[in-house]
Structure 1
Amino acid sequence: MAFVITSPCIGEKAADCVETCPVDAIHEGEEQYFIDPDTCIDCGACEAVCPVSAIFQEDFVPEEEKDFIAKNRDFFNK
């Protein structure tokens, strides 16, 4: 189970999470960052430093943000 970046990141892209990720799982998209579910080690370091609280463990993504789980996976399946 990986972490997922949701809508508060759109347009924000503070990048604190990128610098914190120990396995370089976070990649920049056009509007936001995405976490590679195959690389993420589920450590939670990114969640702790996100200034806009956009990062959630996949099982705890708020209902209204669930579409970001698929958006995240699709970003890496191009």
Structure 2
Amino acid sequence: MTYVVTENCIRCKYMDCVEVCPVDCFYVGENILVIHPDECIDCGVCEPECPAEAIVPDSDDRATAWAEQNRTFAQQWPNITRKGTPPADADEWKDKPGKAALFSAEPGTP
């Protein structure tokens, strides 16, 4: 089992999860983070750290639509090991539903 970042992260990208990950399995896109499933050790420390509740175990139904995107983009985007500055409007986007259409495939800056 692994953890998956879902659409709740889009436009929020708080990055609190990055600081607690013992194996540095987060990768950064322009407006979302992803978890590399082959690097995640299923420790679960990232899940409660996410203010947007965007991280779920892959056994959760909410993970289904995002598991493959996590795998694909973790292989393309740069690794992130330290918390950066979230977007200025992150709190405004935090609880908005239906953010999947806003997903950007562009890499972010670690």
Tell me if both proteins adopt one fold, taking TM over 0.5 as the criterion.
Answer: yes
- Structure number with bigger Rg: 2
More helix by percentage: 1
Percent identity reads 43
Provide the C-alpha distance between the structure 2 equivalents of 1:54 and 1:8, rounded to a whole number of angstroms: 5
Query: Could you tell me how far 1:30 is from its partner in structure 2?
Result: 1.7
Gap runs ≥5 in structure 1: none
Q: Counterparts of 1:31-70 in structure 2 under 5 Å?
A: 31-62=31-62, 66-70=64-68
Deviation readout 1:17-58 (Å, 9 max, x if unpaired): 001101101111122000011110000000011001000000
Would the aligned equivalents of 2:36 and 2:75 in 1 still touch at CA under 8 Å?
Answer: no
How many residues are matched? 76
Provide the C-alpha distance between the structure 2 equivalents of 1:75 and 1:66, rounded to a whole number of angstroms: 15
- 2:69 is paired with a residue whose SS is helix
Aligned CA-pair RMSD:
1.3
Provide the C-alpha distance between the structure 2 equivalents of 1:43 and 1:61, rounded to a whole number of angstroms: 19
What residue is the counterpart of 1:8 in the other structure? Answer: 8
Query: Could you tell me how far 1:76 is from its partner in structure 2?
Result: 2.9
TM-score (norm 2): 0.64
TM-score (norm 1): 0.88
Query: Could you tell me how far 1:15 is from its partner in structure 2?
Result: 0.5
- 1:44 is paired with a residue whose SS is coil
Q: Which runs of 4+ in 1 moved over 2 A?
A: none
